[in-house]
Structures are given as structure tokens and as C-alpha cells.
């Protein structure tokens, strides 16, 4: 599965424990029920999503969105 901007922070953190450090790096509370796109925009959001997917070992090259 690829992490996307519509996914809630808490859902990501609960599914992949290793992402909690990434959220700390960006100053995002892991208990937030808001979508990633509600915390950061533009380049910051792109960097966060890239870091999260790298952390869980996922990319669009290896997975299809939503699956």
C-alpha cells in the first residue's frame, strides 16, 4: 500500500509503528485524525509522504494506489 495525502495520521501511525519517528520529525502529533494534507501543503507535504513511504518500504513502483 502507498501512503497518500488523504490518509489520517493516526491510521498511518497505528498501521506502521515505524512512521511515528517521521511524524515527530515534522512536528505532527501521531494521534491526529486529520488527513496528511491538513497538516502540510505543497513541497512539505510531498517530502512527508516520500519519507513515510520510504520508511515503510513502499512506492508507487511496487504498489498500486489503494491496494
Domain ranges (residues) in the chain: 9-56
- Name, in order, each residue with C-beta under 8 angstroms of 46's C-beta and a sequence gap of 6 or more: none
Q: How far is CA 40 from CA 46, 47, 50, 63, in A?
A: 9, 10, 13, 24
pLDDT tens-digit series, residues 1-23: 799 999 999 999 999 999 999 99
* Residue 29 contacts residue 23 (beta carbons within 8 Å): yes
The model carries a pTM of 0.85
Q: What is the pLDDT of residue 60?
A: 57
Amino acid at each position: 500500500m502507498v501512503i497518500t495525502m488523504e490518509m489520517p495520521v493516526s491510521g498511518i501511525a497505528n498501521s506502521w509503528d515505524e512512521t511515528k519517528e517521521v511524524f515527530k520529525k515534522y512536528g505532527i502529533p501521531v494521534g491526529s485524525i486529520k488527513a496528511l494534507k491538513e497538516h502540510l501543503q505543497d513541497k512539505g507535504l510531498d517530502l512527508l509522504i516520500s519519507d513515510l513511504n520510504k520508511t515503510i518500504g513502499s512506492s508507487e513502483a511496487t504498489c498500486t494506489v489503494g491496494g
